[in-house]
Amino acid sequence: MALIEAERVALRYGGPAGTLALEDFSIAIEPGEFTALVGPSGCGKSSFLKIVSGLHPVSAGVARLHGRPIDGPQHGIGMAFQNATLLPWRTTLANVLLPLEVSRDHRATFRQRRREHEARAVELLRTVGLAEFRDHAPVQLSGGMQQRANLCRALVHEPEILLLDEPFAALDAFTREELWGVLQDLWLARRFTVVLVTHDLREAAFLADTIHVVSRRPGRIVATRRVDLPRPRTLATTFEPAFVDLVHELRDEISRVRQA
C-alpha cells in the first residue's frame, strides 16, 4: 500500500473565486521512496506539501496517509524550506531540539528525556558535519551550514516523512551539490520517505527514485520518470550519459509544460 496517496486532488486558496493551485492531482508514494516534484515556478508543487503536512485541507478529491484521509497535522512529518529560519537567540543544538519541545508527540516528555533527545540531536549534527558547532549561534554559521542544521531540525524527531521545499535553492552551486550528498547519506542510512519540491532538474535527477513533472497552474502530474542510477550517486554520476540524458528529457518536458 502506498504511504502517501492523492486522488484527483484540487486545492483552491482564498474561497471559491480564489486561485486554483492544484487540480486533478493524483500521486502515489511508497514507503522509503525518494520522490521529486519538478515544474515551472508557481505551479502548485509546494501546495502538495501543505496538503501532506495537514496544513491545508484539499478542496476536492482525497489525500491519504497510511490509507487514512489527512485531516490536520499528522504524526511523523518533518519539513524544511529554502529559508533555514533558525532562531537567532538559540544555539545550533537548541534550534535542532525545538521540534521536540513543541511537537504534540514529544512536548509532554521533553524535560524528562532531554538527555536522550540531546544525544540524538548531537548525533544528527555529527552526521552532517556540524558536531563542533552545536553551541554556536546561527549567525556564526555559513548559509550551507545553516541549511544542514535546518535538515537536522526537520529530522530530529525521526519522522517517517521528510517534506523539502526547494531546500537548497538559496545556496551557491558548490554548496548545493555538497548538500545533495549530505541528504543522500542521511536518506540511505535512515530510509525515511522524502518528497522534494525543486525546480533544479539536476538536483531531482541526483536525489530521487521517482521524478514527477507538474504542469503549469493548476498543477497536475503530466509525466513520471523512474531514476535507476545506482546509489550512492556521486558528482561523477552527474557527468554520465544516462544522467545527462535524463536531465535533457526532463528539460524538454518542462519546456512543453511551459508552452502548453
Q: How far is CA 94 from CA 81, 84, 141, 184, 194, in A?
A: 19, 14, 14, 24, 24
- Indicate whether 85 belongs to the interface with other proteins (CB under 8 A): yes
- Indicate whether 54 belongs to the interface with other proteins (CB under 8 A): yes
| Shortest Cβ 167–other proteins spacing (Å) | 11
**Residue 72 zone, left/alpha/beta (φ > 0; ψ -120 to 50; rest):** left
Query: How many residues appear in the chain?
Result: 260
- Indicate whether 11 belongs to the interface with other proteins (CB under 8 A): no
- Indicate whether 195 belongs to the interface with other proteins (CB under 8 A): no
Query: CA 32 to CA 34: how far, in whole Å?
Result: 7
Segment interacting with other proteins, rule: CB under 8 A, options 29-37, 72-80, 176-184, 245-253: 72-80
Q: Which is nearer to other proteins, 82 or 237 (CB)?
A: 82
Query: CA 19 to CA 13: how far, in whole Å?
Result: 5
Q: Give, as ranges, the residues between 127 and 186 that touch other proteins (CB under 8 A).
A: 133, 136-137, 139-142, 145, 153-154, 157, 163, 165
Q: Give, as ranges, the residues between 106 and 125 that touch other proteins (CB under 8 A).
A: 107
- Indicate whether 55 belongs to the interface with other proteins (CB under 8 A): yes
Q: Percent helix, strand, coil in the chain (nearest 5)?
A: 40, 25, 35
Segment interacting with other proteins, rule: CB under 8 A, options 23-31, 52-60, 115-123, 200-208: 52-60
| Shortest Cβ 38–other proteins spacing (Å) | 20
Q: Which is nearer to other proteins, 103 or 127 (CB)?
A: 103
- Indicate whether 41 belongs to the interface with other proteins (CB under 8 A): no
Smallest CA-to-CA distance from 214 within 258, 149, 167 is with: 258
* Residue 249 cell numbers, joined: 528529457
